[in-house]
Amino acid sequence: MIRVAYHLLDVFTETPFSGNPLAVVTEAESLSAAQMQAIAREFNLSETAFVLAPRDPVHTAALRIFTPTTELPFAGHPTLGAACLIALVRAPDMIGRQPLQLVLEERAGVVVCEVSRVHGHLRGAFLPPQAPALVGDLGDRAAIAAALGLGEAEIGFDNHLPVVATAGLPFAFVPVDGLSALNHAAPNAALLAAACGLERAAAFVYARETADPAHHVQARVFVHSLSGDGRLATPYGFGVHEDPATGAAASAFAAVAAHFEQPEDGEHHIVVEQGFAMGRPSHISLNLRIAGGILVETSVGGACVKVGEGMLTV
């Protein structure tokens, strides 16, 4: 039998038991992929991260990310949470004095992260492994509305229209006209996947109306694959239905915001509220750098708080 350490964190929050929960298993080289999958299924969180020695010794670590049912090439909150934990374990004094840079090897590519302490809170940020980009438009607003259990008139605001974008994982981005529509969205997996043209139903539904007027959008993210009639009664696919904080989707949202808002050249900061409908409020910081009217750099950040640790016997 093998004993390995694990840590529990809440990500994209400064408050324990809010944000997106994450399990991180450290020194996971002795585990097979099948054992990692079994551990992720045991934790039954949206994702579990496994820290391994890097292939390139100049990098900090390698990271493998599993949902309860499958491995992912990249995911935001496991990347941020794992980076914060590694910094906390390996260099707790250093992050109190200056930002610490880490380089993580993930299946989607190398991810550069930065971790620091700000006013006593552990905060991190990362550059997505792929540049955020629009994939295409979603023209059938009636089909999208039906898939979300909303009226067609509730889809869209200002010049924002439904599109697909990616920064390593593709998501459908669906603007709605306010928090009432956002809170009443009740997606049907089969209809949503068909309307979005994706193999899995993965939708970032967002409104300009927010809980805090200083923030910019509030979002709900629904992720699940198809089974039976596509309804939400039984988890399948990714093993989750709604995510309280989705860094991969927020990364891709940079391309959406840049496309529809057309910000002037320079640095821009967006705060995304997520998880409010689930009782796990999260705050995702999104930084955009625009040059020549083009999005040239994106970073995704937020706070992390450690809430527990223990040992697994495998």
Instruction: Give, to the nearest 10 degrees, the angle between helix 247-261 and helix 76-90.
Output: 120
**And the tokens for 217?**
């959008």
User: Residue 172, class by beta-carbon neighbours within 10 Å (0-12 exposed, 13-18 middle, 19+ buried)?
Assistant: buried
SS3 letters across 70-123: CEECCCHHHHHHHHHHHHHHHCCCHHHCCCEEEEEEECCEEEEEEEEEECCEEE
Beta partners for 50? 25, 64
Q: Mark whether 47 is an active-site residue.
A: yes
How many angstroms separate the CA atoms of 131 and 139, rounded?
Answer: 24
Of 14, 27, 42, 47, which is the active-site residue?
A: 47
**And the tokens for 96?**
């109190």
How many angstroms separate the CA atoms of 240 and 252, rounded?
Answer: 20
- Report in angstroms the alpha-carbon separations of 40 from 69, 78, 83, 152, 236: 8, 12, 18, 38, 14
- Report in angstroms the alpha-carbon separations of 232 from 174, 192, 200, 206: 19, 12, 13, 20
| Closest-CA residue to 198 (of 237, 234, 233) | 237
Indicate which residues carry an active-site annotation: 47
